[in-house]
Structure 1
C-alpha cells in the first residue's frame, strides 16, 4: 500500500484541518488546566497516594494518534489522485515500412529488411490489445497491407511476407497512412471524436520519388506538414549505417541512411525522430515506442490507502486510550 498523490479533486475538504487544529489547541489547554489543578492540591504526599501514577508522555500517544488519523482521513476526503500507467483502449497506429532495394544491404546483418522484420514483429506482438494497428509498405508506390485493426495475426503475417521493390516514395507512403487513419476514424469515431493517431515511419534511404523534397505536392515534407495539420504526428526511425551498399543490375551502389530527411519529417509533423544502426538499437526503439503508444498516464483516485491508514490509526488510538487511561491498578 503506497501513500502517493498528484493532486486533489476536492481540496476544500482540507478546511476540516482547522477543526483538527482546534482540537489540538483544546487538548493542550485541558492539559495545562489539569496541571494547574494539581498544583493547587496542598498536600502533595496525600496526592501521591490517592492519584493514579502518571504515565508521562505515553498518556499523550492516543491523542497524537487520533490527530494523525483525522489528518489522514481528511486527506482521503479531499480526493487525492495519483499518476497511473494504464493500457490505451483507443488509439490508431499505422506502421509504415520501407521495402526499397536499399533494404537489401547487409550492413545490419543478416540484412536491413530481415532485421526490420524481426523488430517490427516483436513490436506488433507486444503492443497493447486496445491499439488499432495498420501496416503499409512502400517503395516506388505505397501499399496498404492491413487496415487498422486490433487483430495482430494479419499484421505479423504481412510483415513476414514483405517484398523488395525499386524506388522510395516516402511522401506517398505518408499520404496513404493518413488516408488509412481517416477512413478508420470515420467508422469508429464516437461522441469523444476519433481516437488519437500516429504514424510510425521506418526507412533507410532518401526519397527518390519525387526528387523534390520541399515543395512537391506529393513529397515527404509536404505530407509531413499535412499530417501536422490533421493532428497526426509521425515518429520516424532512420535505420541503417553510412556504409550500406547493394548490388543493382551488376553495379555496387552506396545506400547511406538519410538522417536529415527523416529528422525533418518528424519535426514538420510534430513527431519524434530515432536512429538505429543495429538490430539491437532498432528493437530498443520499438520497445520505447511500445511504451509510449501502448500506455498512457492517467490521474486515478488514490484515496483508498489514506482511508485505510486513517481508519486503522483511529481504531488503534481508541484502543490505546482504553489501556493508557484506565484507572484500575
Structure 2
C-alpha cells in the first residue's frame, strides 16, 4: 500500500474505488468554500497589503525583478487561507470515511432428491426419436443432470423387471456414466413393469441413511428442512409386467411426499413385424395421483423442453450470504488535513500571517 503522504491518494482512479460511509459530510465542502469566498469579499477592502519601497532598485536593469517580486508577494498572501481551507476540506473527507468494500457472495442450497426411472424395454429401440428412443432419452437425461446443482440423483431401469442401477448421489460423473451405458439388452425379461420401477424409486427415497456414494452429508443447520423428493418416470408403454400395480405405487409415493412426473416417449408407429403403441392412460393417472405432471415427448426437441420445464419447476430454495471486507482509509486524509492545518499555523506566525492577514 502507498504511504499516506503519497499523491496517489488524490488520483481519480483511486477515488473511483472508494465508497463513503457518511456522504453527508461531503455536502459541507461547498458550504466551507462559500464561507471562505464570502469572507474574502467582505474583508478585501480591509486587507493589509505589503508595500515595499524599491526606490533603490529602480534602475532599468532591475525593473523586471521588481515586478516579479511584487507579483510573487501578491500571490503568497493567499497561501494561508488556502491551507486552512484544504485542511478543513480534508478533515471533512476523513469524516465521510472513504472505504474500499470487497463483497463475497456465497449461495447455499440443500438441493432435492431426484430418481430417474428409465424404460429400457425392446420398444425403446424404435427410431421415431432418432437414433432411437432410448438413445435420445439418454442424451437428454445427461443434459438434465448437468443442469442440476446440489441435488442427489439416482437411477432405476426397468423392462419386465426393475433394477436400481445407481443410488442417490451427487457424483454426477458416475451417474452420467451409468446413463451412457444404458441399452435395451440390460434386462432380458420382456414387458414394462412401471409399478415395480416406482417401488424401487420410493424405496431409495424413503431410506434417509447415507450411502457410500452420497457425497452430500447430513447437516444440522436448522434452516434446512426435509429435502423435496421427485420421481421422473420415462416410458413408452402401458404397465404389462411386475408384481405391483402402478396406481398402488403412486399412492405409496404420495404418502411419502414424493412428487411424480411421467413422460410418454415416442408416438404410435407400425413396423412390418409388429405394432407399437404409446399408452398414455396409466402415465397420466399416476402423475395425477402423485401431484406431478404428465408430458408427451414426440421428438427429441420436445423431450428436451420437457426436462427443461421439470428443471424449472423443481428448484431447491437458495440461501444467499454476502460477506463484506471493509477497509477504511479515513486516516490518510485525516493526516493530510492535520498537516495542512499545521502548515497554516506555521504561516500564521510568519510575515504572511502577521502582515498580510489580519
Deviation at 1:147, TM superposition (A): 0.7
In structure 2, distance between residues paired with 1:149 and 1:87: 18
TM score, norm. by length of structure 1: 0.57
Q: Confirm or deny that 1:225 pairs with 2:251.
A: yes
Q: Which runs of 5 or more residues in structure 1 are unaligned?
A: 1-85, 211-216, 246-250, 302-329
CA distance in 2, matches of 1:116, 1:159: 9
Q: 1:1-329 to 2 correspondence within 5 Å?
A: 88-127=109-148, 129-164=149-184, 165=187, 166-183=190-207, 185-187=208-210, 188=218, 194-210=226-242, 218-243=244-269, 245=271, 252-296=273-317
SS of the counterpart of 1:118?
A: helix
Matched residues in 2 for 1:103 and 1:189: separation?
40
| Displacement of 1:260 | 1.5
Secondary structure at 2:129 match in 1: coil
Q: Distance in 2 between matches of 1:240 and 1:88?
A: 35
* SS of match in other structure, 1:252: coil
CA distance in structure 1 between the partners assigned to 2:313 and 2:109 by the alignment:
10
Return the alpha-carbon distance in structure 2 between the equivalents of residues 159 and 260 of structure 1.
Answer: 27
Give a deviation string over 1:183-225, Cα, whole Å, max 9, x none: 2x24448665641111010111111114xxxxxx711111011
CA contact (8 A) 1:136 1:173 kept: yes
| 1:244 shift after superposition | 5.5
CA contact (8 A) 1:106 1:244 kept: no
Distance across 1 between alignment mates of 2:108 and 2:232: 19
Counterpart Cα distance in 1 of 2:301 and 2:317 = 25
Question: Cα distance, 1:270 vs. partner?
Answer: 1.3
Q: CA deviation at 1:261?
A: 1.2
Instruction: Tell me the distance in 2 between the aligned counterparts of 1:93 and 1:142.
Output: 17
Residue 272 of structure 1: how far off its partner (Å)? 1.0
- Considering only CA atoms, is the larger Rg found in Structure 1 or Structure 2? 2
Q: 2 CA distance for matches of 1:144 and 1:276?
A: 24
CA contact (8 A) 2:269 2:275 kept: yes
TM-align CA RMSD: 2.3
Moved over 6 A (4+): none
Aligned residues: 202
TM-score normalised by the chain length of structure 2: 0.53
Aligned-partner Cα distance in 1 for 2:253–2:264:
19
* CA distance 1:189–1:230, shift in 2 (3 Å): farther
Specify every segment of 5 or more residues in structure 2 that has no aligned partner in the other structure, as ranges: 1-106, 211-217, 322-358
In the TM superposition, residue 90 of structure 1 has moved relative to its aligned partner by 3.0
SS at match of 2:269: coil
Residues 115-143 of structure 1: CA deviation (Å, up to 9, x unaligned) = 1111111111111x211111111111111
